[in-house]
Each structure stands twice: as structure tokens, then as C-alpha cells.
């Protein structure tokens, strides 16, 4: 009896194993397919000129510049430093544009970088830090540089971890990248607020303008990051993933509206 | 003859596979170690409706057989609610405290008001330690007394986290600088969510010595009230924030500039009270008016 039972269990396990193997294989095949099509897309996107201009591939191995297209795209060893920097800057600039105009979702998610978030975070921390005589007393006044810095990065990391834990299908740094780039709208509202604060007499009307500008930046940041990140969640949990994003930008907007020289 | 050794090795191999599979099955089912990501994923396995329901019923006490814990939390206690409710409470309290401070000082000082970011640190220390240490102590106590209800630490943590949710709307309303309203809010909040806590932990303490049980329940209620009262006094009541102001200069400032306006305000109040029957208040106001003159 025991032997039969063991055999039965074994067979069920085997069936399950095959099922798992099958799932694994099909998953592998799917991802390989995706990878392949992505590669194909990239190749098609990036070197059409190469394929059109130079169809015959024979030539000398030692010739330094065989074709312009392939040199520019794939070989960065002997390109000028200016080109390299400009290419990265252009990528950062494109991402900034996509954040302000969140239509193409894939553009920001495809290849993440943390340059934009770093720039924005340093900018926020420098602008929002309290003056030194306030910092001495520590009981009153604005945050220190490091406090803003930590709030921004830790906030982005915690929000990302939250969406990962809820079962979101997005990589860690992609999400941090999106959250960081979406700080652009609050940063712009901060610049406008600082310009308004230059006025000699601060009235209630000016405060209301500052309030509206900050709220607009906050709403835009939440809207844009939700557009990028919201789809990675199952629909039943979308609100649970969006709420921490809302809180994150809300706190940063509070820092912006409260900041005064 | 030939098949025998092969069958033997095959059998050993089978046993190995069997062991491996059962190991995998057990691992997959429930007992993930705490350092793995999946362990925490299990604690965030909630839907929006579920979280909203948990928040709602943490504010409304329902006496009956099934407690809040059994009815809403028991199958899977989550950490989503406790973590984000405490974080929200930290920032809402800090923001509300700053707004209250502004409302208290507006028109009194002639210097520019500055916001105080470091209220966040104090609020964070208070809320996170309350939300983590108290469940820990309570869980330790229940373990020590050998409670039959078998509440796990995560369940207690979850109940405590959700019980703080009522203080979020309350700390927004605390900004309104009316003393009786503030105290009323303290009483309402503490009674509502505190009674949910008491009803939840009563089954765990029922079998214990009655004195101990009542003492523990009183302590739970006391700490819950202390948190509310402490927050209100530290963040939302005038005396704390007015303390650093030099009183002599303030009174001088008041005497020189606002005496007329104060008198005008008082006389309008008196005229409005003219029809009302509260002569006592009227007399009191007259007295203060005379003393200021």
C-alpha cells in the first residue's frame, strides 16, 4: 500500500514537474522571442543607413573607418568625449521632455538612468535647505541639505519597494528612474515660487499664486508617474500603488510651498 | 539480471527526486524565510477594497462574537496598511502642526513666520515607536501569560497600525484652533478606535486572571489616549509654540497697536450677545474690557 501510495505521489509530482518544466520552457521561449524581436527592432531603428548605404560587406579588416553608421553607434572607443557626453545629455533631455508630456510610455521605461533624478534631487536639496542661523538652533526652520536628499531617495526607494511587493511587473531601477524624473514638475514650480518670493512685499494673493503653482506641479508629477507606473499593477491594486506616489510628491510639494527665505 | 542494478539506481534516483520535490513544494507553499523577498510579498497581498474595509472597521466598534481581528485581518495580516497609515500620520501631523503654529502666530509677531521641518522627526519617532513597540510588548505579554487566543505578532501589529488611521482625519481637524473641538476630537478618536482595540484583545485576555486582564486593557487604552493627547498638546495647542516669544514685547506690542481693535471686537461681540440670555458671559466680557481700558 505504502509503495503504491509513494508511486502515486511520485507520478503526481512528476506530472507537476513536467507542467512546471513546460511552463519554464514556454516562458524561456517567450522571453527569448521578446529579446530577439527587441534586438531586431533596435537594429532596424539604429542602423538603417548602414544597411542601405553599404550593402556589400567585403573590405579590409584594418581600414579604420569602414562605415559611418556602425562607427557612430557601436564603437565609442575613438569618438570624441564631447560626443559621448552630448549623447547622454540628449538622452536625459529626451526623458525630461517625456515626463512633461507623458504620451509615449515606453520611452522612459526602455533604458533607465539616474542622472536626471540626481540633478533634480541635488537642485531640490540645495534650494530647499534652511539658512545657517536657523540650522544652528535646529528647533525651527527648514530641512538640511542631507535631509531633503535622503527624503527624495529613500522616498523613491520605499515607493518602488511597495509597488514591487504588491506584485508590480517593473524593474527596481526603472521605477526609481521614473519617480526621479517626475520630480521635474515640482522643481519647475519651485523655481516659479522662488521668483515670486523675490517680490519685496509678500501678500496673500502672491501666496495663493504660489499655492496654485505648487499644486499644479504636484498634480502633474502624480499624473505623469501614474501614467508610467500605473499599468504595471493588477487593476485591483492600482490605488494601493498610486497612494504612496501621491504621498511622496505631496510631502515634497509641502516642502516647496513652505520654503521661504 | 541486467535490469536489477539499473532499477536499484533508478529507485535511489526516484527517492532523491521525491525528496527534492517535496522540499520544493513545502518551500513554495508557506514557509519562506524572512530574508527572502517572497516573504514580504505575502505581507502585501491585499487589494484596495480589502484595505479600505480594514480602515473603515478599525474606526467602528462592533460588539459581538467575531472581533475586528477575526473578521477582517485573520487570514492574512498585511503590512501595507500599518506602514502607510503610520507614514501618512507622521507627515499629516507635521504639516498640520505647522499650519496650527502659523494660525497661532499670525498677526501677533511682526517677524516673518518660518516653518519647522523638524516636527517631522519628532512625529516619526513617536508614531513609529508607538506602532512597533507597543504591539511587540503586547505580544510578549500575551506569550508570557500563555494566552489561548494565539494572536501572532503580525496580527497584533496589523491591528495597531490600522487603529491609528482615525488620527489622520482628526489631525487635519485639529488645525482648527478651538479648544473644546480639539478635546472633543481626542475623546471621539480615542473612544472609537480604542474600543475596537479593547474588543479585539479582550478574547485573548479573557481566560487570564481578571485583574491582569483589566489592567492590560486599561494600559492599552491609556497609551492610545496618551498618544492622542500628546500629539494635540505638542503640535496643535498654542502654549508650546508661544513659549519662545518674549512676553513683555508681545504685550507691549498688543497694547500699542491692537487695543482699539480688541475693544471694537469685544463691543461687537457684546452687541451680538445682546439678545442672548447669557448675562454671565456678558458681564465677564465687560469686566475684561474695563481692565484693559
Whether residue A125 is found in the same domain as residue A188 = yes
Number of A–B residue contacts, CB under 8 Å: 80
Interface of A with B (CB under 8 A): 6, 9-10, 13, 16-17, 130, 134, 138-143, 147, 162, 164-167, 236-240, 243-244, 247, 250-251, 254-255, 258-260
Torsion of CA A108, A112, A118, A120, to 10 degrees: 0
Domains in chain B: boundaries: 3-31, 48-242, 258-292
pLDDT range class, residue A74, cuts 50, 70, 90 = low
Give pLDDT, residue B39.
Answer: 82
Distances (CA, A) of B121 to A209, B7, B70, B91, B157: 29, 69, 35, 10, 22
Number of domains in chain A: 2
Q: Do A139 and B116 touch (CB under 8 A)?
A: yes
Give pLDDT, residue B280.
Answer: 47
pLDDT range class, residue A28, cuts 50, 70, 90 = low
Kindly state whether residue A86 falls inside one of the protein's structural domains: no
Q: Do B41 and A238 touch (CB under 8 A)?
A: no
Kindly state whether residue A68 falls inside one of the protein's structural domains: no
Give the other-Cβ count within 10 Å of B288's Cβ: 12
* For A258, nearest residue in chain B (alpha carbons): B115
Contact B192, B60 (CB under 8 A): yes
DSSP assignment of chain A, as one string? -HHHHHHHHHHHHHHHHHHHHHHHHHHHHHHHHHHHHHHHHHHHHH-HHHHHH-------TT-S-S-HHHHHHH--TTS-HHHHHHHHHHHHHHHHHHHHSTT-HHHHHHS--SHHHHHHHHHHHHHHPPPHHHHHH-SSB---HHHHHHHHHHHHHHHHHHHHHTT--S-HHHHHHHHHHTTHHHHHHHHHHHHHHTSSS--HHHHHHHHHHHHHHHHHHHHHHHHHHGGGS-GGGHHHHHHHHHHHHHHHHHHHHH---
Kindly state whether residue A64 falls inside one of the protein's structural domains: no
Task: Tell me which chain B residues have a C-beta less than 8 angstroms from the C-beta of A143.
Answer: 117-118
Domain extent at residue A190:
103-258
Kindly state whether residue A82 falls inside one of the protein's structural domains: no
Tell which residue, A257, A254, A259, has the closest CA to residue A155.
A254
- ipTM score of complex: 0.70
Kindly state whether residue A80 falls inside one of the protein's structural domains: no
For residue A4, count CB atoms less than 10 angstroms from its CB and return exposed for 0-12, middle for 13-18, buried for 19 or more. exposed
For residue A198, count CB atoms less than 10 angstroms from its CB and return exposed for 0-12, middle for 13-18, buried for 19 or more. exposed
C-alpha cell at position B1: 539480471
User: Does the pLDDT of residue A65 top 60, yes or no?
Assistant: no
Low-confidence winner among A174-183, A196-205, B99-108 (lowest mean pLDDT): B99-108
Kindly state whether residue A71 falls inside one of the protein's structural domains: no
Tell which residue, B101, B204, B206, B110, has the closest CA to residue B156.
B204
* For A201, nearest residue in chain B (alpha carbons): B112
Tell which residue, B47, B154, B53, B57, has the closest CA to residue A241.
B47
Q: Please state the length of chain A.
A: 261
Kindly state whether residue A79 falls inside one of the protein's structural domains: no
Whether residue A113 is found in the same domain as residue A199 = yes
Whether residue A44 is found in the same domain as residue A123 = no
Preferred mutation among A131, A140, A210, A214 to probe B, highest tally of B CBs within 10 A:
A140
Kindly state whether residue A161 falls inside one of the protein's structural domains: yes
Q: How far is B84 from chain A (nearest CA, A)?
A: 7
Per-residue pLDDT of chain B (293 residues; tens, 9 = 90+): 444 444 444 555 555 555 555 555 544 445 677 777 888 888 888 888 989 999 998 888 887 767 788 878 887 888 999 999 999 999 999 999 988 888 887 766 556 677 888 889 899 999 999 999 999 999 999 888 887 778 889 989 999 999 999 999 999 999 988 889 999 999 999 999 999 999 888 888 888 888 888 999 999 999 999 999 999 989 888 654 444 444 443 344 444 444 444 445 444 444 444 444 444 445 555 555 555 54
Q: How far is B118 from chain A (nearest CA, A)?
A: 7
User: Does the pLDDT of residue A122 top 50, yes or no?
Assistant: yes
Whether residue A21 is found in the same domain as residue A131 = no
* For A236, nearest residue in chain B (alpha carbons): B47
Give CA–CA dist B213/B211, Å, rounded: 5
Of B43, B88, B115, the CB nearest to A247: B88
Give me Rg for the CA atoms of chain B: 29
Amino acid at each position: 500500500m505504502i509503495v503504491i501510495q509513494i508511486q502515486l505521489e511520485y507520478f503526481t509530482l512528476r506530472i507537476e514537474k513536467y507542467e512546471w518544466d513546460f511552463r519554464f520552457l514556454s516562458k524561456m521561449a517567450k522571453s527569448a522571442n521578446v529579446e530577439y524581436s527587441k534586438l531586431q527592432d533596435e537594429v532596424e531603428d539604429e542602423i538603417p543607413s548602414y544597411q542601405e548605404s553599404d550593402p556589400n560587406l567585403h573590405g579590409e579588416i584594418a581600414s579604420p573607418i569602414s562605415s559611418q553608421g556602425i562607427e557612430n553607434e557601436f564603437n565609442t572607443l575613438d569618438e570624441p568625449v564631447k560626443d559621448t557626453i552630448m549623447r547622454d545629455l540628449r538622452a536625459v533631455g529626451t526623458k525630461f521632455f517625456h515626463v512633461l508630456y507623458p504620451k509615449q510610455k515606453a520611452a522612459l521605461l526602455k533604458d533607465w538612468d539616474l542622472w536626471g533624478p540626481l540633478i533634480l534631487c541635488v537642485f531640490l536639496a540645495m534650494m530647499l535647505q534652511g539658512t545657517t542661523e536657523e540650522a544652528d538652533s535646529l528647533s525651527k526652520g527648514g530641512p538640511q541639505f542631507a535631509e531633503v536628499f535622503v527624503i527624495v531617495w529613500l522616498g523613491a526607494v520605499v515607493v518602488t519597494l511597495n509597488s514591487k511587493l504588491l506584485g508590480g511587473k517593473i524593474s527596481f531601477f526603472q521605477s526609481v528612474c521614473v519617480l526621479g524624473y517626475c520630480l521635474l514638475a515640482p522643481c519647475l514650480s519651485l523655481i516659479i515660487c522662488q521668483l515670486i518670493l523675490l517680490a519685496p512685499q509678500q501678500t496673500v494673493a502672491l501666496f495663493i499664486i504660489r499655492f496654485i503653482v505648487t499644486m499644479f506641479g504636484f498634480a502633474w508629477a502624480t499624473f505623469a508617474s501614474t501614467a508610467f507606473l500605473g499599468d504595471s499593477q493588477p487593476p485591483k491594486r492600482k490605488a494601493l500603488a498610486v497612494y504612496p506616489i501621491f504621498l511622496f510628491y505631496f510631502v515634497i510639494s509641502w516642502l516647496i510651498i513652505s520654503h521661504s527665505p | 539480471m541486467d535490469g536489477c542494478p539499473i532499477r536499484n539506481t533508478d529507485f535511489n534516483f526516484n527517492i532523491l527526486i521525491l525528496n527534492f520535490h517535496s522540499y520544493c513544494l513545502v518551500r513554495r507553499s508557506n514557509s519562506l524565510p524572512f530574508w527572502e523577498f517572497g516573504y514580504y510579498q505575502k505581507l502585501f497581498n491585499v487589494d484596495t477594497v480589502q484595505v479600505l474595509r480594514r480602515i473603515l472597521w478599525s474606526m467602528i466598534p462592533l460588539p459581538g462574537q467575531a472581533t475586528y481581528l477575526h473578521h477582517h485581518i485573520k487570514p492574512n495580516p498585511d503590512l501595507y496598511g500599518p506602514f502607510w497609515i503610520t507614514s501618512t500620520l507622521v507627515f499629516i501631523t507635521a504639516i498640520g502642526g505647522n499650519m496650527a503654529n502659523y494660525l497661532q502666530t499670525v498677526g501677533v509677531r511682526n517677524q516673518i513666520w518660518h516653518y519647522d521641518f523638524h516636527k517631522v522627526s519628532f512625529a516619526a519617532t513617536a508614531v513609529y515607536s508607538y506602532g512597533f513597540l507597543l504591539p511587540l510588548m503586547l505580544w510578549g505579554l500575551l506569550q508570557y501569560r500563555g494566552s489561548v487566543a494565539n494572536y501572532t505578532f503580525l496580527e497584533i501589529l496589523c491591528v495597531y497600525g490600522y487603529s491609528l488611521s482615525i488620527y489622520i482625519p482628526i489631525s487635519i481637524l485639529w488645525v482648527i484652533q478651538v479648544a473644546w473641538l480639539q478635546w472633543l476630537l481626542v475623546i471621539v478618536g480615542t473612544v472609537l478606535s480604542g474600543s475596537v482595540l479593547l474588543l479585539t484583545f479582550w478574547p485573548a485576555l479573557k481566560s487570564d486572571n481578571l485583574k491582569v486582564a483589566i489592567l492590560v486593557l486599561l494600559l492599552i487604552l491609556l497609551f492610545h489616549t496618551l498618544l492622542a493627547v500628546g500629539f494635540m498638546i505638542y503640535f496643535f495647542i498654542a502654549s508650546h509654540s508661544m513659549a519662545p516669544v518674549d512676553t513683555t514685547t508681545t504685550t507691549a506690542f498688543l497694547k500699542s497697536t491692537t487695543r482699539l481693535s480688541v475693544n471694537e471686537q469685544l463691543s461687537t461681540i457684546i452687541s451680538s450677545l445682546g439678545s442672548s440670555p447669557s448675562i454671565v458671559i456678558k458681564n465677564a466680557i465687560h469686566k475684561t474690557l474695563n481692565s484693559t481700558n
